[in-house]
Structure 1
Amino acid sequence: MATLLIIILIVAIFDIRYRKIPNILCLLTAICCLIVSYQHHYLASSLLNSSVVLLGSMVLFNFNIMGAGDGKFAAALALAIPWQQLNIALFLTAIVGGVLAIIYFIKYRLILRNKIKQDPGLPYGVAIGLGFFIPILMNAS
């Protein structure tokens, strides 16, 4: 679990700094999450989770709503939770993402007065990491 937390923190740093999530971090996340789901005996449902999240994120990417790295990262994290808790992870991700959006709006539009074309984008990997890690942590105990 500590390894997964470290990877999530590294993803958050990369996403904040570069607005990109490297594929190797998504792969490491997927490996850690597969181990977690195997240990807790819900590997089959976690594979379904990952497929649903990946498909949904591909649709969002197609409409330029979500980055490809964010989708891969969310699909990798979905491997570590049972099917019944996918909705909790997605809900928490949306809540954290909303708070993050408000913070970035205040920072870039009100304080720094950036124009929309200068907007660096939202590092949604932070919201995904926190939103999915809470249910993962709840299942680990």
Structure 2
Amino acid sequence: MLVLTLALLILFTASIDIFKRQIPNELCLAIFIVSALLSLGAGSLVYGLFSTLIVLVVGMLLFKLNLFAAGDGKLAAAFAAALLPSQLLPAVIYTLVIGGVLALFYLVKDRLICQYLLKQSREKEKGLPYGVAIAIGFYLQILVAYY
């Protein structure tokens, strides 16, 4: 039931990130609570909290280097509560692969279709809704870890 709840939260996260390029703190908190409950049920809450701390520190560093948005770091940390530290690297790899697919999609959509084929001016660059890639990448690893 918790994994399904997490999937619904991911759909909500993705839609907000796509349309607003924001990830509300309340949504990150809800994801963290569900992730922590998953970890608690598996008997690995301490490891999950350690994973959250690792991702928060790395996310803050990437934010300071202008490589990551603050909301993206909070979102990744919230999902990390469901994972062991050894499961973080596969989650990041899934996220990077999905982020590449997402970037390719936006490149085709914004630059090729809108600008060149439809002769529409591009909207002001809003960046990628990378929360979508984070949510899907971490969720895939959660599925691998719990099933």
Query: If the TM-score is normalised by the length of the shorter chain, which range does it land in?
Result: over 0.9
- 1:88 corresponds, among 87, 90, 99, to 90
String of CA shifts for 1:5-62, please: whole Å, max 9, x gaps. Answer: 1011100000001000011000000000000001001111111111111111111111
The separation in 1 between residues aligned to 2:104 and 2:18, in whole angstroms, is 15
How far did 1:100 drift? 0.5
In terms of Rg, which structure is larger?
2
Unpaired runs of 5+ in structure 1?
none
Residues matched between the structures, number: 140
Kept after mapping to 2: 8 A contact 1:19/1:123: yes
2:113 matched to 1:111?
yes
Pairing 1:55-70 to 2, within 5 Å after superposition: 55-70=57-72
- 2:40 corresponds, among 38, 41, 44, to 38
Pairing 1:1-141 to 2, within 5 Å after superposition: 1-113=3-115, 118-141=124-147
Aligned AA for 2:7? Answer: L
The separation in 2 between residues aligned to 1:87 and 1:50, in whole angstroms, is 13
Kept after mapping to 2: 8 A contact 1:108/1:119: no
Unpaired runs of 5+ in structure 2?
116-120
The separation in 2 between residues aligned to 1:135 and 1:40, in whole angstroms, is 15
Give the secondary structure class of the aligned counterpart of 2:128.
coil
Give % identity.
Answer: 43
How far did 1:80 drift? 0.5
Aligned AA for 1:101? Answer: A
How far did 1:63 drift? 2.1
| TM-score (norm. length: structure 2) | 0.90
The separation in 1 between residues aligned to 2:69 and 2:16, in whole angstroms, is 14
Match of 2:118 in 1: none
The separation in 1 between residues aligned to 2:63 and 2:7, in whole angstroms, is 26
After the TM superposition, which segments of 4 or more aligned residues of structure 1 sit over 6 Å from their partners?
Answer: none
